[in-house]
Every structure is written in structure tokens, then in C-alpha cells.
Amino acid sequence: MLDSLLWGPTELGLMYALMALGVYITFRILDFPDLTVDGSFTTGAGIAAYMITHGSSPWVASIAAFAGGMAAGACTGLLHTKGKINGLLSGILMMIALYSINLRIMGRPNISLIKEETIFTGVAVLAIMPVIVIAIKVLLDVYLHTDQGLSLRATGDNARMIRSFGANTDITKIIGISLSNGLVALSGALIAQQSGFADISMGIGMIVIGLASVIIGEAVFGAKSVIRATLAVVLGSILYRVIVAIALRIEWLDTSDLKLITALIVIIALVFPSVRKHMKQKANARKRSAQLLSQSSGPALTKGGAPQ
Amino acid sequence: MIEISKVSKLFNPGTVDEKIALIGIDLKLNPGDFVTVIGSNGAGKSTLMNIISGVMKPDTGEVSIDGGTITQLSEHRRAKWIGRVFQDPMAGTAPNMSIEENMAMAYKRGQSRMFQFGVTRARKELFKQQLRKLGIGLENRLRAKVGMLSGGERQALSLLMATFTKPQILLLDEHTAALDPARAELITQLTETLVREMNLTTLMVTHNMEQAIKLGNRLIMMDKGRIILDVDAKQKKELTVEKLLGEFERISGRKLADDRVVLG
């Protein structure tokens, strides 16, 4: 029981956490909904599987997967910034293009890794994954506090401002989307090695799982600072797997319902906070109006600021 | 310093909506000049700012800084010479980042941004020392998110961020217009102090006639894409709002029409 509801999901969650961190970079930091993820996840798995079956070290293969994802992300970034294509559409175009590219990389729709040596050969997933995930999380935190990282964050926060201070926001966007897809591809490479195969369709719906992890993580664990937010995303990825494991225990639900459940989780997580905020604002406004009405002399206007 | 020669800019050229934003503008700012710009609606004041900062490229003419032409340089490339404060207090800062992080980004104006920490102990001291000049206690709130500040505080921070690296030219685009009178007054005072202290060459667009007369050592008036009046420091001392309005009527043959103009 504990095994299937806690340790299993934790293992999976940690491996998908890198993908979720990637989605966090585009979705939250750059404010760019990047659908490349569905393709680049498979790209990572495909590159790693191909290289491992052709005698590469699994570590080298994983790093190559990361690089492959970065290249895919850079293409999306270029389409969006230099080609001036709408953000969502650039991601979709790249995702579709990657389907064919991934088939080319893999040579066939499915590569088995059962008999190959992977980074998980002879080591427990739970022994190695926490180290990898924490190391990458810390590196990402550090990066996001460097001069370049700050300009990346400002690009999503106020692009006009950071341009007026001399940062090229086209370049920062490309760097961010590229880094994001590198992490997604690395996650795909790890999943392929752990599950023993790479499959052409393994990336479908990945963006929604990434979003679910980010949103659940931030809602439950908070996102006050970058360090806190990246931790929340990692924990959110684990929590998402726990929720799925619990949901699948419900008798009338099937494994095939997984994507529906994921979509529902994201919808609830997106709608709930905005509804709650709206209610809160309304209640506050009502309270304040009553307060002002009860003061016969009228309010002293102390709060300034622009209406914009 | 900065020189604009024969700059023209049309919007929707050749269509029924054709609009002349700037036509044959010549303007030369000497080092240390503080020029205020006033004008009627659609006179081309904002377009002039956008042409200088590189948000727009002129159709004809040249923009140069220190003798080198920058006409074709993109906005982010010329940012190393040009500090800018926008009308919208939200525009000049990143709301979800802290005060010290915003300062760190301003500190790297026009330089390459690599893998050094944005906020180091040494930089933090510098930021504190700079923020103290604003006199509104921001130096004690370095880690507060800028989004939590009031409009006036944000605009004060924007002003400091635009100036403390001592750009060659400072562009102020109606930067007090969106604030209530008390805060606008504070920002105006800060502007005067900072510009004087650092001897910044400044171009300030304003709708406040009194402010335009009181601040700076030179005043230009624009109308229909042209500079119609250029008042030097000596003449400016004797200028009043009435005289200024009279001048406008005399030159353009109509009353100054500006729905936002503040006479003072």
C-alpha cells in the first residue's frame, strides 16, 4: 500500500520533476505557454535510447538528450522572436515537426532498453534521483540569480523595462525556452531509461502534466521566491503522481482515464484560485464600503498611486 | 552630445490615415542641458522620445550621440547611453522582483549579462547608498517586491534606476503625469536633485506648463511635428504661462489644444 501510493509516485515524480522545472521556466518565468514540450520530451527519450543501444555511456546519452532538447527549444524561440509567430503556434509547429524528427532519430517507433545498461542499472531510483533533482534545482536557482538570470526573469515580468536597460529580450526568450526544453528532454531520457523503452508517443500530454505539477506545487507549497517556487515545482510533481495513484485506486477509473484526470486537476487548480480571489475582493470591497459609509466625515484619501 | 538632424516620421504613409508625427526635426542638446518639451496633442513629443530611444526608427534623418550615428541601432543596443522613465509608474520596474534585483538589472545597463550574481554584498552597499537619496526608506526594504510599492514609490525607484549609472542622456516622458499632485511634486523635486547632482543631459516631456517653465535651462515647444519655439536659459527666466500660451497662439495661429494640459 505505502509502496504503491508513496514510493512509486515519489520515484516517478522525481523523474518528471525535471520536466516540470522546464515548464516552470517557460510558463511562469517567461510567461510563455510552450507546447514544444510534448515533442522535446520524446526527443530526449529518443536520443538517449538510440545512443545507449549503440553503445554510448548512459550519462553521455543523457547529456546529449539535454542538448537535443535545447536545440529544439531554440528553434521554437527563433520562430517566436525572429519569425514573429504567435507563441502558442510556434510551440505547436515545433511539436509537430519534432514528431517526424523523433522518428528519424529513433529509426522506429519504439526502442527497448531492457537489456541495456542505464544510469539506473544496479542503483535504486530513489538513491540517485534525489541527488540529480536537487543538484539541478540548486543550479537553476543560482542561474536565476545571476545577471543573465535576472534579465531572463525580467523578460517575463516587464520586457519593456529590461529592454530599456539594454537586454535583448529576443535572446533572453530563446535562452529560456531552450533551457526549458533541455530539462524536459533530460527528463524524457531518464524516464526512458527507468521504464526500459522509448516510444514515439510518450510525450503526448506532457505539457499538461508539467502545468499540473507547477500549479499544484505553487498552490500547496507557495512561490514567494524563486528558491521556494522551484522547490514547490519539484514537490508538486511528486504530489501530482500521488494524486494520480490515489485516483487510479478508484474502482471505476481506468489507466486510460489518466489524461482526463490530469486535465481536470489542472482545470480545478486554475479555476479555484481565481474564483477565490474574486470572492475575497468582493467581500473586501463590501466591508470597506460599509466602513466608509459609517464614517460621516468622509474618508481621508491617503493612498496614492496611479490608476493604471 | 545628442544630435537629431532632419528627422521625419510618418504613420500610415500614403493612406487616408496618414499622419505626420515629425517633419524635419533638428535638435542639438549640449552636455548638461535640461530641456523641457511642451506641445499640443499629437505634436510629436512622444514620437521624438521613441525615435531617440530607438523604439521607432525615423523615415529620414539621423540621430547621433557624441558624433557617432545611432540611427539604425535597436533599442537595447543604445540603452547604454540612454536612461528612460515612462509615464506609467508600472513600466519602469519589474513588479515580481525585489528592489535589489531591479537595481542590479539597472546597474548592468548596456553591459553583457553573464553568470555573476546579480546582488552581491558590494553591489548591495551601493544600492543602499543610492536608494537613500530618494529619502523614502526604500534602502531598508531591499528584498521587498517592487509590486508591493505605491505608484509614487515605484516612479521614484524608476527614476533612480534610470539615472544612477549616469547615462549620456535622460529621457523623461511625462513621468509625473500619472501621479497625484503630492507625489508628482516629490518626483519633480527628485528629478531636479538627481539631474543636477549628476549633471545629466535631460529631455523632459511634460503637460505641466509651470513645471516646464520652472525646470531646466531650455524649453522647446512642438506643434504638428515641428519645433516651433526654442527658449534659452536667459529668456526662460522671464517666461510665464500666459506668455507661453500667447507665443503658441502667435506662432501657430490657434489656441493650444491639449486635453491634459496643466497650466499650473
Three-state SS across A115-154?
A: CCCCCCCCCCHHHHHHHHHHHHHHHHHHHCCEHHHHHHHH
- Distance, in Å, from the CA atom of A183 to the CA atom of A204, rounded to the nearest integer, reads 17
Nine cell digits for residue A232: 514547490
Is there a contact between B179 and B167 (Cβ–Cβ < 8 Å)?
A: no
Range of the structural domain that residue A183 is part of: 2-281
In a domain, A192, yes or no: yes
- Distance, in Å, from the CA atom of A308 to the CA atom of B116, rounded to the nearest integer, reads 35
Residue range A209-221, pLDDT digits in tens: 999 999 989 988 9
Is the pLDDT reported for residue A130 higher than 50? yes
In a domain, A296, yes or no: no
Where does the pLDDT of residue A223 fall: very low under 50, low under 70, confident under 90, or very high at 90 and above?
confident
In a domain, A308, yes or no: no
pLDDT of residue B13: 86
Residues in A closer than 8 angstroms to B84, CB to CB, are 164
Between CA B36 and CA B41, with CA B37 as vertex, the angle to 5 degrees is: 150
Residues in A closer than 8 angstroms to B116, CB to CB, are 146-147
Residue range B231-253, pLDDT digits in tens: 888 888 888 888 888 888 888 87
pLDDT of residue A47: 97
- Per residue in A253-274, is it b (16+ CB within 10 Å) or e — as a string? eeeeeeeebbeebbeebeeeee
pLDDT of residue B261: 65
A-B C-beta contacts closer than 8 Å? 113
Residues in A closer than 8 angstroms to B56, CB to CB, are none
Structural domain tally of chain A? 1
Where does the pLDDT of residue A2 fall: very low under 50, low under 70, confident under 90, or very high at 90 and above?
low
In a domain, A59, yes or no: yes
**Residue B128: is it exposed, middle or buried by C-beta count within 10 angstroms (0-12/13-18/19+)?**
middle
Q: What is the DSSP letter of B30?
A: P
In a domain, A289, yes or no: no
Domain containing residue A111: CATH number: 1.10.3470
| Residues of B within an 8 Å Cβ radius of A | 53, 74-77, 79-80, 82, 84, 86, 88-97, 101, 104-106, 108-111, 113-119, 150-152, 161-162, 178-180, 182-183
In a domain, A291, yes or no: no
* C-alpha closest to that of B233 among B62, B41, B33: B33
CA distance A203 to chain B (A): 32
Where does the pLDDT of residue B224 fall: very low under 50, low under 70, confident under 90, or very high at 90 and above?
confident
pLDDT of residue A25: 97
- Distance, in Å, from the CA atom of B221 to the CA atom of B170, rounded to the nearest integer, reads 18
Is there a contact between B151 and B182 (Cβ–Cβ < 8 Å)?
A: no
pLDDT of residue A300: 47
Q: Give the H/E segment covering residue A72.
A: helix A58-81
Q: Do B96 and A165 touch (CB under 8 A)?
A: no
Terminal-to-terminal C-alpha distance of chain A: 54
pLDDT of residue A58: 95
| Residues of A within an 8 Å Cβ radius of B | 143, 145-151, 153-154, 157-158, 160-169, 303-308
Q: Do B76 and A163 touch (CB under 8 A)?
A: yes
Task: Please state which of the ranges A33-42, A166-175, B13-22 shows the lowest mean pLDDT.
Answer: B13-22
Mode of pairing for the β-strands spanning B2-11 and B19-28: antiparallel
- Of B80, B96, B152, which has the smallest distance from its Cβ to A304's Cβ? B152
Reported residue count of chain A is 308
- Of B93, B109, B119, which has the smallest distance from its Cβ to A166's Cβ? B109
Kindly report each contact of residues B45-48 with a partner whose C-beta sits within 8 Å and lies 24 or more positions away, as own/partner. Answer: B45/B205, B45/B222, B46/B173, B46/B205, B47/B9, B47/B21, B47/B22, B47/B225, B48/B4, B48/B7, B48/B22, B48/B205, B48/B222
Q: Which residue of B has its CA nearest to A153?
A: B97
In a domain, A239, yes or no: yes
Is the pLDDT reported for residue B260 higher than 80? no
What is the identity of the amino acid at B224?
Answer: K
pLDDT of residue B236: 81
Residues in B closer than 8 angstroms to A173, CB to CB, are none
Q: Do A153 and B96 touch (CB under 8 A)?
A: yes
Residue range A36-77, pLDDT digits in tens: 999 999 999 999 999 999 999 999 999 999 999 999 999 999
Predicted ipTM of the assembly: 0.87
Residues in A closer than 8 angstroms to B159, CB to CB, are none
Residue range A235-290, pLDDT digits in tens: 999 999 998 888 888 888 888 888 888 888 888 877 887 888 888 889 989 988 88
Q: Do B105 and A148 touch (CB under 8 A)?
A: no
CA dihedral A47→A52→A57→A63, nearest 10 degrees, is 10
Complete edge-to-edge strand list for the sheet that includes strand B226-231: B82-85, B169-173, B201-205, B34-39, B218-223, B226-231
Contacts of A136 (CB under 8 A, 6+ apart): A18, A21, A183
Which class is domain B2-252? Answer: alpha beta
Over residues B248-259, mean pLDDT = 75
pTM above 0.95, yes or no: no
Complete edge-to-edge strand list for the sheet that includes strand B19-28: B19-28, B2-11, B60-65, B68-69
* C-alpha closest to that of A181 among A94, A263, A108: A94
Q: In chain A, pLDDT over 70 holds for what percent of residues?
A: 95
**Optimal mutation site among B49, B87, B105, interface A, most CBs of chain A within 10 A:** B105
Average pLDDT, chain A: 91
CA distance A92 to chain B (A): 29
Q: What is the largest CA-CA distance in chain A?
A: 83
Residues in A closer than 8 angstroms to B89, CB to CB, are 305-306, 308
Q: Which residue of B has its CA nearest to A143?
A: B115
- Distance, in Å, from the CA atom of B33 to the CA atom of B23, rounded to the nearest integer, reads 23
Over residues B128-152, mean pLDDT = 92
In a domain, A288, yes or no: no
Where does the pLDDT of residue A161 fall: very low under 50, low under 70, confident under 90, or very high at 90 and above?
very high
- Per residue in B32-60, is it b (16+ CB within 10 Å) or e — as a string? ebbbbbbbbebbbbbbbbbbbbbbbebee
Q: Do A164 and B84 touch (CB under 8 A)?
A: yes
- Conformation bin of residue B201: beta by default, left when phi > 0, alpha when psi is -120 to 50: beta
* C-alpha closest to that of B188 among B165, B212, B163: B212
pLDDT of residue A303: 46
- Distance, in Å, from the CA atom of A190 to the CA atom of A61, rounded to the nearest integer, reads 10
- Domain locations in chain B as residue ranges: 2-252
